[in-house]
Every structure is written in structure tokens, then in C-alpha cells.
Amino acid sequence: MIQLSANMLYAAFFLYILSAVLFAVSITGGKFKNRKGEEDNKAGLFGYITAILAFGASLTYFITRWIAVGYAPVSNMFEYTAALGIALGLAFVIIHPIYRNNYLGLFTMPVVMLIIAYASMFPREVQPLIPALQSHWLTIHVITTVIGQGILAIGFVAGLLYLVRVIDFKKTSKKVKGVEFIIYTLVATVAYVGLGFGFGAADYEANFAYINEQGNEAEVTYFLPPLIGPNEGELISEQGMSPLVEVPAYIRSDDLNTVVWSVLAGLLLYGLLRLVLRKPVGGAIQPVVKNVNPQTVDEISYRAIAIGFPIFTLGGLIFAMIWAQIAWTRFWGWDPKEVWALITFLFYAAYLHLRLSRGWHGEKSAWLCVIGFALIMFNLIFVNLVIAGLHSYA
């Protein structure tokens, strides 16, 4: 069952690639003609159908894993991040028929793929649930939250599309740098996933004996070549090399090493892109999206936020509070994850007020959508992995 569910996730991943390609064809493929010589570019429709199939496959992954593990598969970093990708796919499948905007498909599908690929970097084995997680509220709270975040992520995608469409990439400006930074972040994530897959396939492992924070001897395993070594580290495996730098014990050297690799590989990849394109990457994409109606994508991003915000609030705050009251004796305890969920809520509330009362449409609104998504990812990755709290299960 677990194998089946894993295969379905792979299938979904490849279907998303196919869908992205079809959406690309629908835009750049020009005017196909059918036998009668009429314009007939159906690639967009096929792209959408493929996106539905991909979502179906990912849903099958979700259900089969649910059956296999015996609880809603949203309990650790792998499961939650994958669910976020699936939710983004779901949000797209819902929103696309309303606006029928193939550009949105072209931009959404790669983000879905990236999130699912990123998820697969985390340990995937079946995890026993600790007592605090044994509740139906795990299912209710997390699934509602993830759907809300998936829909909010559409706001990000549409916002990014808007920015790439309207920003003048010929002049160097903060805006251009901003968009390029977003693109670099995505590229660095690709690099991280690529490195993970590459060295994973090669079974790379370097073990170090080192002195940990408590001053005791401990061992650490690197899955990427160690540029950054642990405190007083000594290589004890055959594979591996001597690190360039050694960091003090209070820094998780293996994680920092991964971050450094991703940043560098991302820079390399991005640099290559710039070299080939000879202009900002956003500027190179812009001609592709020249037919996008900025007002439409602006409305899509706003609609996505207006739809996603209540769902996120319900799942991420209200259901969260109900569960916290049952499991942790209080509905609110200022745990970092709780605080960051509140911050995300406040941020989108500010967005809505700025838009409705202060007339922040278009570009300003698009930047806010991007920042909102950054907050969601920050809460998922940074708060879970770095700021440890009650929610750090992964």
C-alpha cells in the first residue's frame, strides 16, 4: 500500500510536468489549425484535463497513504509539504474553470511540482503518532489549514505572474531585483532538490565524530559533501572529505552545510540562466506573458486570497484553538507556530484592508501576495525546523 501510494505521487509529479508543458504549448504554440483550417489550440484544455488527472493521482497517493498509516497523512514535514502541493493543485483545479487563464496554469504547475519535490527531501517512512497527535482534530485542523494555504498560494502565483507581466525589466530597479530574488529562491529550491536526488542516488554519506553542544562525543551523517564541518569533527567514513570550515557546536552543521550547498548551487544555476539569457530572468519570461491581462490576474490573486483567507482562518486559527484546548489544556499558548499563524492571519487581514479601503490594487497588491506566501513557507520550514516549539514534529 505504501509502495502504491509512493508510486501515485510519482505519477502525479510527471502528470504535473505534462500539464505544465501543455499549458506552455497553449501559449507559445501559436495558432494551430484544425483540418478545416480554423484556429484550434486545444492544448490549454488538455493541460487542464492533465492537471485534474495529476490532482487525482496525488489524491490517490493521499488516500492510500492514509489507509496504510492509519491516520491522515499530514503529521510530519514530508506529509504536510506534499499535502500543500496537493492543495495548491486542488485550488488550481477549482479556480481555473472560473477564469480559464492558461498563464495561471503555466505558472502554477511548476510551483506544485517544486513543492512536491521539496516534500520528498524529508524522511518518508511511516511515523508512529505521539499521544498529542492522536486526535481527529489532526485530520480536521491540518487538512483545513493546508487547503486554505493552497488557495492562498494561488494568490502568490497570480501575483508573481502579474509582476512578471507589468514590471519594466529594462531598467534596473528594486522591483526588478525583487522579482529576480523570487526567481532565485525558486531556482535555489530546484538546486536543493537536485542535489538531494543526485547525491541520494549515489548513496553519498559522510560520517563525522564530533563534540556536541553538551560537550559529549556524538556522530553526525552528511548526505552532501561537507563544506561546513561539525565542531572538532573527524571523518570516520570512507566517503567524504575534510571540511573547509568548522563551526561551533551550537550550530547544526549538517543543516547549515545543506543550506550553503543550496545557496551556492542556486547561484550557479541562476548565474547560468543569466549568462544564457543575457537579461533578467523575469525579463526573459515577460514576452511569454505579454498577452496576459493584468487586471484579470490581479483579480485572480485577490479572489484567491478572499477565498483562501476564511478557510485558512478556520483551519489555522479556529480549529487550531479548539484542538489546543483539548490537547494542551489551553486554546492559545503563544507557541511560535501559533504566533506565526496569527502573523499570517494579521498579514492577510492587512492586505484585505489595504486593498478594500486604501485601494492597493495591482502591483502593490501583487507584492503583498508574494510576501504572504513567503510567510506561509517561513512558518512551515523555518518555524518547524529552526525555532523549535510544540509543533516541531519533523
CB of 312 to other proteins, least distance (A): 10
Number of residues that bind other proteins (CB under 8 A): 65
- Rule CB under 8 A: is residue 186 a binding residue for other proteins? no
* Contact range with other proteins by CB under 8 A, out of 140-148, 151-159, 177-185, 304-312: 304-312
CA distance 368 to 360: 10
Tell me whether residue 236 or residue 349 sits nearer to other proteins (CB atom). Answer: 349
Could you say whether residue 290 binds other proteins (CB under 8 A)?
Answer: yes
Answer yes or no whether residue 170 interacts with other proteins by CB under 8 A: yes
Contact positions with other proteins (CB under 8 A) in 66-125:
69, 98-99, 123, 125
DSSP, collapsed to helix, strand or coil, labels residue 233 as: coil
Residue 229 within binding range of other proteins, rule CB under 8 A: no
**Interaction pattern, residues 339-378, with other proteins; x per rule: CB under 8 A:** xx-xx--xx-xx--xx-xxx---x----------------
Contact 138, 257 (CB under 8 A): no
Helix/strand/coil for 196:
helix
Distance CA 275, CA 109 (A): 26
Binding-residue pattern over the window 137 to 166 for other proteins, x denoting contact by CB under 8 A: x---------------------------xx
Q: What share of the chain is helix, strand, coil (3-state, %, to 5)?
A: 70, 5, 25
Q: What is the CB-side half-sphere exposure of residue 361 using CA atoms within 13 A?
A: 10
Q: Determine which residue in the list 92, 208, 302, 373 makes contact with other proteins, applying CB under 8 A.
A: 302
Single out the residue of 7, 41, 60, 135 in contact with other proteins (rule: CB under 8 A).
135
Q: How far is the CB of 174 from other proteins (least distance, A)?
A: 17
- Compute, in degrees rounded to 10, the torsion defined by CA atoms 40, 44, 47, 51: -140
Among 225, 227, 299, 393, binds other proteins (CB under 8 A): 299
In angstroms, the CA 320 to CA 315 distance is 6
- 315 neighbors 287 (Cβ within 8 angstroms): no
- Parallel, antiparallel, or unpaired for β 234-235 and 217-222? unpaired
Give the C-alpha distances (Å, rounded to integers) separating 132 from 166, 328, 389: 48, 8, 13
Ranges of H-type helices in 294-335? 294-313, 320-327
**Could you tell me the CA-to-CA distances from 360 to 147, 160, 179, 357 in Å, in that order?**
26, 16, 19, 8
Does residue number 127 form part of the binding site for other proteins (CB under 8 A)?
yes
* 283 binding other proteins? (CB under 8 A): yes
Q: Is 178 in the site for other proteins (CB under 8 A)?
A: no
Contacting residues toward other proteins, per CB under 8 A: 69, 98-99, 123, 125-128, 130-132, 134-135, 137, 165-166, 168-170, 283, 286-287, 290, 293-296, 299, 302-303, 306-307, 309-310, 313-314, 318, 321, 325-327, 329-331, 333-336, 339-340, 342-343, 346-347, 349-350, 353-354, 356-358, 362, 383, 387, 389
